[in-house]
Amino acid sequence: MVSHSNSAVVHMYNYSESLTESGVYFYRLKQVDFDGTVAYSNVVNVTIVSPGTFTLLQNYPNPFNPSTTIAFTIPERSNVSLALFDMLGRKVKSMIDETKEAGLHTVNFNAADLASGIYFYELKAGQLREVKKLTLLK
């Protein structure tokens, strides 16, 4: 792929890859100018999740201020609960408490009204349960 480094026109770049393993993949574009200087684009992350499994992904970004994204997959239609707890195990917020269809779901969580600190978020779907830690830095 050739970069148009000294152009005033916006150019789009495409890259495709056959990924079969669940995980987070990171990509960036390296640009080499005619004079040999090198510049890198911002990192783009792509999360691949098998939709037939129960998975709670790590929030991104983490640490965050004041908002973050939490993603999860559920294998079948279920009553889903996503809640935030403080270090003492007290429920601070309920982000979701409703029936969701099978597949990938994302929640944009804004913690502008919370104090800095470490919190835990818990996902429950049917008999399944998973907990992850997040850090709010103000």
Give domain limits for the chain: 1-48, 50-136
Any idea which architecture 50-136 has in CATH?
A: Sandwich (2.60)
Residue at 114: amino acid letter: L
pTM: 0.66
| CA 118 from centroid of its chain's CA atoms | 18
What is the share, in percent, of the chain residues with pLDDT greater than 90? 56
| E-assigned strand segments in 1-138 | 23-27, 30-32, 38-40, 44-48, 55-56, 67-74, 78-85, 91-100, 103-110, 117-125, 128-136
pLDDT computed for residue 123 by the predictor: 98
Q: How many CB atoms lie within 10 A of CB 33?
A: 11
The pLDDT score that the predictor gives to residue 44 is: 85
Residues 6+ apart with CB under 8 A from 16: none
Q: pLDDT (tens digit, 9 = 90+) per residue, 32-72? A: 888 888 888 888 888 776 667 899 999 999 999 999 999 99
CB of 65 closer than 8 Å to CB of 137: yes
Mean pLDDT within 13-38: 79
